[in-house]
Amino acid sequence: MDSSKIREQRILDPVTDDVPSFIRAVLSDSNRKYFTASLIEDQKEQLFGVLGLENYSAKNRSADAVMYFPDTALSGDLPDVSQEHRTSAFDSLLRYAFFDQQIHRVSMLIPVTDEESEKILLSCHMQQEAVLDEALYVDGAYCDGALFSLLDSEYPDYSVGFVPFRKGVVAIRGDNEVIEMTRFFSYGKPVEGNLERNVAIRTGIADSSGVLKEEGSPEYKDLFDMQFPKEVMRCMTELNEYFMKRRTSFTIHAKPLHGSDFQKKVWDQVSTIPYGVTKSYEDIALDLTGGDKVSARNLTRAVGAACGDNPLPILVPCHRIIGKDGRLVGFSGGLEIKEFLLNHEMFGIHLA
């Protein structure tokens, strides 16, 4: 953080007279994370705010948010910053807290008279929990504070949806534009992943300890009446149609969270395998090497490893990869689910 720019624009005036010392203290404290918010104008970076997380609790996976924007009447030459810019900056802080730092709950206490901050928090879907008497000391006097909070599972623009089927559920992680990951979970088993588990509990398909309820539980029917990010909802609909044998291909915008260039080439090639068709690792290696058998033989193991790391099963149909001798080979959802999917596509039967 550039202390001179922050000091010039008087962004941290509410909390310190010594900006360099404040910044050094923040950087040396593992329980505090601060960031600057900037705009690019005329190819120059224009600072317009400082935001951060404080009082991080590893046990509770919680933190308090702070945001400081300059008073335009005091700060002189400032970029043209709208409420939308400030809201976007705070939303970025929430995404960082929930999905990079795996924080479960973010809270913020503001003066009850701070209407501008309240608009930002409400625009970011934070909910007011309480008004605390004389909780803040501002301008030489105590004032009441409005306590706002948001849970990771309540964040509306990036979440996890679930689609039940005979052998379990498919978890779909993404936002309004793209799907980043799909995973399988079995009925009666714990849901893995902080966000996946928290959303499963909030939607009622898992108990308070994060164990999925049994097949046929009424909570699964309610999933399609709930609100999820747009692309997650679209993926839920298409996967449900797939399991009902009303769809054989997908139109989902998917982008894996990770993957080397080679892995992505493998996943792209696997994605060309049609519904109801199977190929072997050797077949995929041959496709990638233009039919060079020697090169393909050397590549087969790497192809298998890439399929094992596929973050988008079903959408990238690695379940259609079988052994050269026709045997079922590894699958992230387990061989029982793989067998079910292959039979579902090839023969239209559901194995018990």
* Neighbouring-strand partners of residue 39: 46
Tokens of 125: 């879907």
Q: Is 158 within 8 Å of 172 (Cβ atoms)?
A: no
Instruction: Tell me if residue 235 is catalytic.
Output: no
Choosing from 124, 235, 307, 318, the catalytic residue is 318
Tokens of 105: 């709950």
Task: HSE, CB side, 13 Å, CA atoms: give it for residue 8.
Answer: 10
Pairing of strands 105-111, 127-138: unpaired
Query: Can you tell me whether residue 145 is helix, strand or coil?
Result: strand
Tell me how crowded residue 306 is: count the other CB atoms within 10 A of its CB.
23
Q: What number of H helices and E strands is found in the chain?
A: 12, 11
Which of 182, 168, 173 minimizes the C-alpha distance to 310? 182
* Neighbouring-strand partners of residue 36: 50
CA angle 179, 156, 128 (to 5 degrees): 160
Q: Is 264 within 8 Å of 256 (Cβ atoms)?
A: yes
Say which residue the tokens 């292959």 belong to.
Answer: 342
Pairing of strands 179-185, 279-280: unpaired
First to last CA, the chain: 59
> Sheet containing 141-151: which strands, arranged edge to edge?
33-41, 44-57, 62-68, 105-111, 141-151, 127-138
d(CA 252, CA 160): 15
Which residues have a catalytic role annotated? Answer: 318
